[in-house]
Every structure is written in C-alpha cells, then in structure tokens.
Structure 1
C-alpha cells in the first residue's frame, strides 16, 4: 500500500503541476475561454487511464494461464521501463518544465482547438497510464489488490490537495527534494516489479529456470509473516527467487542507481554554476562603491 500510495502521490503531483502551469498560463494570456478545451483533454486522459486499469484487472481472466503469465510479465517490464523513464525525465527536465509547457501551449493555440484538447490529454495521460500499469504490477506481484488500489487513490487525493494548496499559496513544499527521494525509493520498487515480471515469464516457459531457486530466505522471512507480507507488498520481495530474478534485480539496481546519483550530481553542479554566474553578473552590474575620503591632516601649529 505504501508503494502504490507514493506512486499515486508522485504521479498526482506531476499531473497537478502540469495542469497548474497550463491553467495559470492561459489566465496570464487572457484566454480563459480555452480552459474548457484543456479540461476536456484532461478528462479524456483520466478516462483512458481508468480504462487501462479496468482492462488490466478484468481482461486476463478470459486467457489461458500461460497467456496470463506472458501478459503479466510483459506488462510488468513495460511498467518498470515507464517508471524508470519518468524518474529520469523528471530529474533532468524539472527545471525547464514550465517553459516547455508554455511553449507547447503557444503552439497549440496557433494550430487548432483540438490541439489544446490533445495537449491536455497527453500532458496528464502519461502519468495516468503509468499509475495504472505500476499499481496493477504491484498488486499482481503480491500486494493485496484492494489495498494497492486504495493506496494509489489516497496518494492521488493527497496530491490534489497539495497541488491546490500550492496554487493558492497555502502550502510551501520542497518539490525538488520530494521527487529526488521518491525517485530513489521507486527504483527499488521497480526492481522488485522487474523481478516479478521475469518470474512470470519463467512460469510461462518463455525464460528457463523456474522452480530452481537461487537461495532460500524462508528461515529469516517465513512465508505468511507480517514483515514478509510488508516486503512483498512494497518491494515484491520473494524469499526464494530464481537466478534469473536475482540477476534482473541486481542488474537493474546496479545500473540505475549509479546513473540516478550521477544525474543528481550533475544537476547540483549545474545549479551551483548558474547561481555563481548570477551572482557574478549582479556584482558586475552593481554601481561602484564611492571612494573613501582620506582625512585631511590638521595643522596644529
């Protein structure tokens, strides 16, 4: 539930920021008459996300066991790819997000009314589909479906409240730090989903090695224990993974975490350089200090 709450909160905040920027920009342009088209696109995106969630929940029941496992494994890997891309994209484009959205809105206004609907749908639809896929993959990997869905809904509702508070100036929230730490947390959640997806493909005989665990941690984490249930619900932990699952988890973390930390380091250096350049420019444009007057010696004779 915690994992799906965080994904709902993170994706909801991203969508809330996008909507807030677009709505505020239309207001600044004096084109509030276009808000209806923008909201129509946002509503369309929400409907598509709900449709994807419903299809993932109810669609596989008409399939054979092997087909269900292949679908589940494939979609889990797709969910990991989307969440990973989202994490890195937000980390590298967060600073220029507002500028990019304003440029997209200018282009949409110049084209047609449908372009504004499409912009609203695409801007929010990505987060909606990512949320649907990741929540489904998390629930399929061992989390209780009801709790997983409830966690995502609570996360989205929390994001709505925070986004509204930010837009009204009632909430001061360090979004950069939030996205940084949740991004790192979600990398480990995604690693568990990836391992689960590999296990599904092994059960379907697409990848060999199912039924031969690499090791067993049942002595440390007994099946049915409360902490085993928590680990399975958040990180898709399994006490007896196969070698393919171990390699997938370790390989993903070993590649993704260093790249993520490197991106954060470069972003920090870029901000420091920009701040230093701004300070230098301000100092260069400042008027010179008036020269101090030397005291005139007084002749006492």
Structure 2
C-alpha cells in the first residue's frame, strides 16, 4: 500500500505543480479567461491515462499463463525505464521547469489562430506524461500485489496529492519540493530495482530467459516471501527469499548504476562573467 501511495502522491503533486504554474502564470499575465482550456487538457490527459490502464489490464486478463508472465515482465521493464528517466529528468530540470512552462505557454498563446487548441495540446502533453508514467508503474505493482491494498493506496495518494496541490496553489502550504522529489526519487529507484528483478523472474517463468538460474542463497526458512514481513518487503522492494544469479544480479547492477547517476554532481553552469570573458 505504501509504494502505490507514494508514487501516486509524487506524480500527483508533480502534475498539480504543472497545472498550478500554468494557472498562476495565466492569472498574473491577465489571461485567466484561458483556464477552461487548461482544464480540458487536464481532463483529456486523465481520460487517456485511465483508458490505457484499463485497456492493458483487460488485455492481460485474456492471456494464457505464460503470456501473462511475459506481459507482466514487459510492463515491469517499461515501468523501470519510465521511472528511472522520470526521476533523473526531474533531478535535472527541477529548477528550470517553471521557466520552461512559461515559455511553452507563451508560445501556445502567441499565434492569432487556434490558441485554445494549442493551449489544450500543451497542457494535455504535459499532464499525460505524468499520467502514463503512473499507469505503467501501478500496473507493475498491481501485478505483483494481491488484494485491495495497492489500489486503495494509489487512490489515497491521489486524494492527498490533489489536496496538497490546492494548498500549494492557494499559498496555505509551504513544502520543500526539492527535498520531497529527492527523497521520493531515491525511494522510487529502490522500488524500480525490485520491479526489474521480478521482471527477470517473470521472463524466466515465461520461458524467455533461462540463463543464470542458480540460487544464490535460500532464506525462505527464516524470512519467507509469504510471511508477514516477507510479503511487505516483496510488495515494496521486490524481495525474493531464493534469488537467482540473474534476478539478484539485475537488482544490484541496476541499483548501483541508478544511484551513481542520481548522486552524480550536476555540471556547474558557467557564470555570466566567465561567459563574458569567453565572448570577449
């Protein structure tokens, strides 16, 4: 329940920030009459995300067992790629996202024709990115979880994200967004490592990947996956009580590589005096 809650909270706040930045800029520049177009873009992006999620879920329910395992593996791999790129992208552009949205908004409203459609499209693509990221991640989590806890966690995360977004927009809440995205990003990378390990295992069960299947260690007697603690760890971090060389290797290789990229210092921007010296 915690994993889908945090993911939905993070993605929801990110989407709320995008909408909030657009709404504030429109209000500050005297263009508040364009807000209906913004909400149309948000609604279309949410509808697309729900349609894609429901469609993929219905497709998977019709597959035979081996094809379901393959589908689960592919969804997990896509989720890992999307989650990793999302975390690293946000780390890179967090400080400039407001300026980038302002530029995109000005460009959408610059023309004399089709301004409403341009604004709807701009908001749609900005919000749809967050929605589709969430869809693939939640599909990967739901496939590895049983019972209503995961969907309830996602729903609770969405509700809290909406409330936080409204509070941020109204100015009644102050939140250190840099620290929020940093710590949730770190958590997401650990979760993504577990999804990758489970995807490798699903590829084996689908008969696609059969190499490196030797068991590294067996702690099923002391911390079984179907026990209370083991099931929580499995649902949150992809814990396996009898990991193979391929699953444990995928987990460690991904996690080490992702953490190195995550903590790698961002290149320093050249100062204005330095730029002036180079131009002179």
TM-score, normalisation: structure 1:
0.85
* Number of matched pairs: 270
1:174-185 maps to which residues of 2 (within 5 A)? 174-185=176-187
Contact 2:25 2:102 in 1 (8 A): yes
**Corresponding residue of 2:142:** 139
1:76-118 Cα deviation digits (max 9, x unpaired): 1110110110101111101001000011111111242212111
Alignment match, 2:240: 238
Please name the residue that 1:194 is paired with.
196
Q: Deviations over 1:117-150 (max 9, x none)?
A: 1111111111111111111101212x23521111
Q: Supply the RMSD in Å over aligned alpha carbons.
A: 1.9
Q: What's the CA shift string for 1:249-269, capped at 9, x where partnerless?
A: 01101111011011xx437x7
Partner of 1:70: 70
* CA distance in structure 2 between the aligned counterparts of 1:244 and 1:211, rounded to whole angstroms: 6
Which residue in the other structure is 2:259 paired with?
A: 257
Select which of 123, 126, 139 maps to 2:126: 123
State the alpha-carbon separation in 1 of the partners of residues 200 and 225 from structure 2. 21
Secondary structure of residue in 2 paired with 1:86 = helix
* Residues 145/22 of structure 1: CA separation in 2 closer, same or farther (3 Å cut): farther
Task: Give the distance between the partners of 1:177 and 1:204, measured in 2 at CA.
Answer: 40
C-alpha deviation, 1:71, in angstroms: 1.5
Where does residue 205 of structure 1 map in the other structure?
A: 207
TM-score, with length taken from structure 2: 0.91
**SS of the counterpart of 1:171?**
coil
Task: Give the secondary structure class of the aligned counterpart of 1:219.
Answer: coil
Distance in structure 2 (CA, Å) of the matches to 1:145 and 1:29: 48
Question: Could you tell me whether the CA contact under 8 Å between 1:7 and 1:155 is conserved in 2?
Answer: yes
After TM superposition, list the pairs within 5 Å mapping 1:217-236 onto structure 2. Answer: 217-236=219-238
The answer for unaligned runs of 5 or more in structure 1 is 278-301
Contact 1:138–1:236 under 8 Å retained in 2: no
Find the structure with the greater CA-based Rg: 1
Return 5+ residue gaps in structure 2 as ranges.
273-280
Q: Do the aligned residues in 1 keep the contact of 2:225 with 2:234 (CA within 8 Å)? A: no
On the 8 A contact 1:139/1:233 being kept in 2, the answer is no
Give the distance between the partners of 2:55 and 2:150, measured in 1 at CA.
17
- Within a 5 Å distance, the mapping from 1:13-28 to structure 2 comes to 13-28=13-28
Alpha-carbon distance between aligned partners in 2 of 1:164 and 1:256, rounded to the nearest angstrom: 32
Offset from partner CA, 1:156-185 (integer Å, 9 cap, x none)? 111111111111111111111111111111
What pairs up with 1:15-54 in 2 under 5 angstroms? 15-54=15-54
